[in-house]
Structure 1
Amino acid sequence: MKIVLVDDEKVIVEGIKFIINRYIPECTVVGAAYNGLEGVKLIHKLKPDIVITDIRMPQADGLEMINRLKEKGCQTKFILLSGYTEFEYARRGLNLGVLSYINKPVEEDELQACVYQAMKTIRDEKAKSREVDDLKQNIHSRMQERALRDILDFGSDNIELMEESLEIAQFQTEGSWFACIILEFDSNNDALKESGLQQVYALIDQTFGQFRAVHRFRYSATQIAMVVSQGSPIGYADLVRSMHRLKEEVYLQTEWTTTVGIGTVQKKAAGISQSFEEARYALSYKVVKGANAIIEYTEITNQSGRRQPVSDEMIAKLETALDNVNEKECLGIIREIFRMMDAESGLNPADIQLQCLNILLASIRKMSFQQLQQNDFLGRHILSLEGMSKFRTMEFLEEWMTEVIRRIIQFKLEHNIPQKKDIIAEVKEYVKAHYSEPITLTDLSARFFISPYYLSQFFKQKTGETYVNFLTQIRIGKAKELLEKTDLKVYEICQMVGYTDTQHFARVFEKLIGFKPREYRKNLPNE
C-alpha cells in the first residue's frame, strides 16, 4: 500500500520512512511533504492509501489539511502525530475520521500496529465495496435478462413498452446495432450445470470482447441466448468468426458440442426480437445441417429461392389433421406430398431434405421442447434426426416420416392433449391465478405443452393482444383494486402484483390509468 508522510521536521520524516521500509514491507513511502499546503497538493496528486501526518505545521496544520482533503472527497486513511498530549486534537481528529493518534517520539511497535490497523480497515472497506458492487451488478444483470427475455419471447409489437424496459435495464440503445445468437448444447447432461454455465459465460465474454457489449443468459435447459450490441455496424463475418472461436473453446474446455443459430444484424433495438426469431429459425435447420453446426440465417434464406413443391395450403392441412389427431388423414397427406416430390423434376437431395424439414417443423411446431424430450422416439429421431440424416431413398424417407407422424399422434393421445380444446383459455385462467409470480413464456410453454413461439403467436391470434399486454392489464387491474380497498403502501402493492421495480410499476400504471398510483388513490371518492 502507498504511504505519504507529512511533517515539518525532515529528521522525523526520514526516521518514519526507515521504520516502514524495514518493518512494514507491505507498504511503500511514495512521497513526503513538509507543510500542510504541500501535503494537500501531494496527497491529491498521489492518492495514497495511508497518510501519516504531524498536527502542528506551518501554513496549514495537519487537521486543517485533512479537512480540506475530506471536502474534496479524499478516501485516504490518516494517522496523526503530535508531540503534545492534547485531548482537543484527538477529538477533532476523531471527527475527521482519523484512525490513530500517536505521540512523539514515535515508537516502532506503535507505528507498526497503527499502520497494520489502517491496512486492515482499508481491506475490509474494499471487500465490502466489492460485495456491494457485485450485488449491484447481479441485480443489474437480472434486470437486463428480464428485459431481454420479455423482448425475445413476446416480440416488439409494443415499441414504447419495449424501449421503456430497455431504459430501466440501463441498455445503451441510441445509435446501436444488435444481433442475436442461440447456442444449443448437445451434451449428455439434461441441463447445463451452474459451474459449466459460468465457464461458458466467461468464454463468451472473452471471445466477444471486441464488441461493445454482449448480454448472455440461460434461455432453456440446454440453450444460451446472446444479444451482441455495438455503436457501429456489426460485421456479420466478424460475428461468425467469433462464434467459431467460441465453439472451439467450449469444446476444448468442456467437451460439449454446440449447435448455433445466428440471426441478422439489426440497426435499432426494435429489431432484437426479429434477429432472435431468425436465430431460432436458423437453429431449427439443425435437422438438415446436423448437430455441431453453426447455422447462419442468411445462409438459410439463400436456400429458400428453390422450388417449393409442398404448398403452404398442404402444410396447413397437415397441421389441422394433427390438431384433430386424425392419423388416417395425416398419413394420406404425407403420401400425397411425397408423390408430388416424386413428380417434381430436378430436385436434389438438399431440396428433398428442405421439403422434409418443412413437413417436420409443421408437425412439431405446436409441441414444446420438453414434450419432445419426454418421448424416447421423438427425442431421438426428431432432436437428432437420425432418420433424415441417413436416408438413401425416397421410399425410406417416406417410411421414416410416416413413423414420426404416428408417434406424434400416439404421444398426443397418451397425454390427452386433444381434450385441451381451448389452450388460450387455460393459459388466461392460469395467469389470472398466478399474476403475482414471475411468469415467463418458457414456464407457460412447459406447463401447457406448447412451444414458446407458437404460444406467443397463437395468443395474439386468439385474443387480439399480446401476452405481455394481457398480463399487464391483469396486474394493473389488481393494483387498482388494492389501492381502492386497502391501506397498503404503493411499494407493497407493486410487489404483490408481480413487479419488482416501483418506478416501472408507477409508469405502467400511469400509462394505463392516466394517474400515478398515489394520485389515483388520492382522487378516489370519499364514501
Structure 2
Amino acid sequence: MAYKVLIVEDEKEKARGIAYLVEKYNPECTPVLLAHDGREGYKKAAKEQPDIILTDIRMPVMDGLEMIRALRGVDFPAEFIVLSGYAEFSYAKKAIELGVRDFITKPVDEEELSKTLSKVCKEITERRATEDSLSKLNDDMRNYALRDFLTGGMDSQYKVGEYLKQMGVLEEYGQYTCMVMEGDEALSDFRIEEGLISQNGMFFYGVKTGNAQMAVVAGSKSMDIEEKKNLVRQFIIKEELDRLHIRIGIGSSYEEYTQLPKAYEEACVALNYRILKGSGTAILFEELYDMENRTDLLTEKETEQLKDRIDRFDQDGFHIAVKGIFNRALSENNLSLPELQKLSLNIVLLGLHNIPTAQLQMNGYFGKNLFTLKSIEKFKTMEQLENWIMNMVSSMNEVMLKDSIPKKKDVIVEAKEYIRQNYNQNITLNDISKQFYINPSYFSQLFKKKSGMTYQKYLTNYRVDRAKKLLAETELRIYEVCKLVGYSDVNHFNQIFERTEGMKPSEYRQKYAQDK
C-alpha cells in the first residue's frame, strides 16, 4: 500500500533533504510533496489529500500548529508528525491537544524518521482494515434488515427506518416503491451489486433476494406510472435488460416507507407476469390491475370468487362460477365476440398468481395456447370459449399439483432435508417452494399441516439447535456461530436464541460449561 506524504518546512534545502530520506528508507511513502509555509501546506493538503503530514512548527505566514488547527477544523483525516527542535518542546502540549501523532527532533535522524514513518504507516493500515471491516459488517446488517423487512419481518421496520433516516432518504423523498429484478439463473455473467445508488433526483437501494434476483427500494419526490418507467430506464439500460434476460416487476407507489413490504409483494406479483411480456421488460402492478379489469364485465365479487376457487383447487366450483359469469354477462350486455374473448382472457389470467414461472416455462401447452388474444380468435362459440378456459385452468391445476399430491408426504421430508443441508444460507419460503415446484401458499399450509409448525419456525429451531451444539462443543465466538447458522446480524441472532431458549448464547455456553 502506498502512502502520500506532505513535508511542510520553510527551509527548502532541509525540506528536500527530508524528502530524499523518506524516499530512500520508506519507498512506500511516495510521492513526497513539499510546501514551505503553513498556508501553502494547508492549500496543498486540501488539494492532494496526503495520508501523512510532516511539519515544522516555526514558519512564516502561518506556523505549523496554526496549519494543523485549520486542517483539524475541517476534519482533515491525515496523521501529523511534528519536526521539533529541543527548544520548541514548550509547544508539545498544544501539539498533543491538536492530535499530533508523533514528534521527530531536529536535525532529523534518518533512522528515527524511518522508524516513525513505518510505525505510522502500519497504524494507518490497521485502522483502514478495521474501518473496512466495520463498514462491511454495517452493510451486511443493513441488507439483512431490509430483506427481512420486505419479506414481512416487522421486527426490522424500526432498523430500516433508522437506516433511511441516516442516509437522508426520509427527508429528501416523499414517494417510495419497490421493484424486483430477476435474471436467467443459467447466465454465468449475471451479476447484481448491492448498495446505494443516487442519481437524477432518485434514490435506489438494492439487496439480493436470490442467486439471480434483487429487490430494489426506490425513492423520489413524485412517482406516477410514467415516472416509474423512467426510473427503470435510469436504473438499467434496455440493452442490458435484453442481453441478460432481465425482467422487472414494480409495485405501487406509497407515501410511507412502512408500505414498502406491500410494494415488494406487488412487485413479485407483477414479476409473475413476465412470461406475458418476455425478457427485457418492466411490468407495473398498476398496469396489471388495468389488464385484469379491461372491461367492467367481471365484478369484484366474481373476481374474488374465482381466485378463491383457484386457490382451493376447486375445479367443479370454478366451472360453475365461470358459467354463472358468462350467463350474467350475456343477459346484461349486448356483447361482441372480441369482448367475450377479452373477458375469457381476464378470467384465465387470474390463475397466474399462484404458479411459479419455472413450472409455466416447462409446460409446452401454455407456451402455445396462453397469453395472447390471437390464441383465442379461433373460438367462435360460447361453448368453445368455456372449454378453452376450463382446459387452461385445469392445466394450471395439474402443474400446481404435479408430484405434490401423490407424494406430498415425501415433499415435506425432502424439504426438511433441504433445510438441514442449507440452513446456513438465506433460504426464504419462496426459494424452497421453487425448489420443489410448489406454490408458496400451498407449501406453507402443507408444511404446517404435516409438521405441526410453520416453515419459518422449523428453520429457526434447527438453526438454534445447531448454534447450541457449536456453543457447547467449540470455542468459536458468538458472531462466528451467528454466521455459521445463517444469520448476519448478531443482535438479531441473540434475540432469536434468547426467545427460543430463554437465555442469551453467552449464558447458554456458561451454563453448559458448569453442567459438564
TM-score strictly above 0.5: yes
Contact 2:144-2:489 at 8 Å conserved across structures: no
From 188, 201, 205, the equivalent of 1:210 is 201
Taking every aligned residue pair, what percent have the same amino acid on both sides?
21
Aligned length: 467
The answer to whether residue 341 in structure 2 is matched with residue 356 in structure 1 is no
What is aligned with 2:7?
Answer: 4
- The alpha-carbon deviation at position 419 of structure 1 amounts to 0.9
Would you say the 8 A contact 1:264–1:278 is kept in 2?
A: yes
Secondary structure of the corresponding residue to residue 417 of structure 1: coil
Structure 2 residue 459 is the aligned partner of structure 1 residue 437: no
Which of 118, 140, 163 is the matching residue for 2:157?
163
> Can you list the C-alpha shifts for 1:211-252, whole angstroms capped at 9, x where unaligned?
4x422134456643211257xx65446851542433772427
| Equivalent position amino acid for 1:29 in 2 | L
Q: Tell me the distance in 1 between the aligned counterparts of 2:359 and 2:267.
A: 21
Q: Which residue of 2 aligns with 1:41?
A: 66
Residue 225 (structure 1) aligned with residue 215 (structure 2): yes
**Structure 1 length as normaliser, TM-score?**
0.65
Map of 2:144 onto structure 1: 146
Counterpart Cα distance in 2 of 1:31 and 1:446 = 68
Alpha-carbon distance in structure 1 between the residues aligned to 2:77 and 2:423: 50
Shift in CA distance, 60/79, structure 1 to aligned 2, threshold 3 Å:
closer
The whole-number CA distance in structure 1 between the counterparts of 2:255 and 2:446 is: 28
- Inter-partner Cα distance in structure 2 for 1:461 and 1:234: 45
1:26-425 matches, cutoff 5 A:
27-32=32-37, 35-36=57-58, 38-46=63-71, 54-56=83-85, 58-60=87-89, 69=95, 72-73=98-99, 82=107, 97-99=116-118, 136-153=134-151, 155-156=152-153, 159=154, 161-163=155-157, 166=160, 170=163, 172=165, 176=170, 178-184=176-182, 190-194=185-189, 197-198=192-193, 205=197, 208=199, 210-211=201-202, 213-220=203-210, 223-229=213-219, 235-236=223-224, 239-246=227-234, 249-251=237-239, 255=243, 259-285=247-273, 294-301=282-289, 304=293, 306-308=296-298, 310-321=302-313, 345=333, 353=342, 356-362=345-351, 364-378=352-366, 380-381=367-368, 385-388=370-373, 390-392=375-377, 395=380, 401=389, 404-405=392-393, 407-408=395-396, 411=399, 416-421=403-408, 425=412
Measured at CA, do residues 224 and 234 of structure 1 come closer, stay the same or move farther in structure 2, by a change above 3 Å?
A: same
1:479 Cα shift?
A: 4.9
**Is the contact made by 2:252 and 2:266 (CA closer than 8 Å) also made in structure 1?**
yes
Quickly say closer, same or farther: Cα 1:45–1:183, change in 2 above 3 A: same
For residues 279-321 of structure 1, what are the alpha-carbon distances to aligned partners after superposition, in whole Å with 9 as ceiling and x for unaligned? 2233445576776654443455567593426454444445545
CA distance in 2, matches of 1:287, 1:163: 33
Q: Structure 2 vs 1, CA of residues 509 and 440 (structure 1 numbering), >3 Å: closer, same or farther?
A: same
2:250–2:283 Cα contact (<8 Å) kept? yes
Q: Distance in 1 between matches of 2:481 and 2:15?
A: 65
Are positions 1:472 and 2:460 aligned together?
yes
Give RMSD over aligned pairs.
Answer: 5.3
AA matched with 1:152: L
Alpha-carbon offset, residue 387 of structure 1: 3.9
Tell me by how many angstroms 1:209 deviates.
Answer: 5.3
Q: Does the CA-based 8 Å contact 2:179-2:267 persist in structure 1?
A: yes
- Distance across 1 between alignment mates of 2:413 and 2:499: 28
Shift of 1:405: 4.3
Structure 1 residues 490 and 320, CA, compared in 2 at 3 Å: closer, same or farther?
same
Contact 1:5–1:53 (8 Å) recurs in 2 = no
| Structure 2 counterpart of 1:59, one-letter code | E
TM score, norm. by length of structure 2: 0.67
The match for 2:53 is none
Give the drift of 1:29.
Answer: 2.6
Q: CA 1:170 to 1:513, structure 2 compared with 1: closer, same or farther past 3 Å?
A: farther
Give the conservation status (yes or no) of the 8 Å contact 2:273–2:283. yes
State the one-letter code of the partner of 1:82.
P
User: What secondary structure, in the 3-state scheme, does the structure 2 residue paired with 1:217 have?
Assistant: strand
Structure 2 vs 1, CA of residues 422 and 252 (structure 1 numbering), >3 Å: closer, same or farther? closer
Question: For the Cα contact (< 8 Å) 1:424–1:462, is it kept in 2?
Answer: no
Q: Would the aligned equivalents of 1:144 and 1:171 in 2 still touch at CA under 8 Å? A: no
| Distance (Å, rounded) in 2 between the aligned partners of 1:343 and 1:194 | 56
Letter in 2 for 1:375: N
User: Which structure has more RCO (C-alpha within 8 Å, separation ≥ 6)?
Assistant: 1
Shift of 1:180: 0.9
Unaligned runs of 5+ in 2: 22-28, 39-55
Query: Greater CA deviation, 143-152 or 11-20?
Result: 11-20
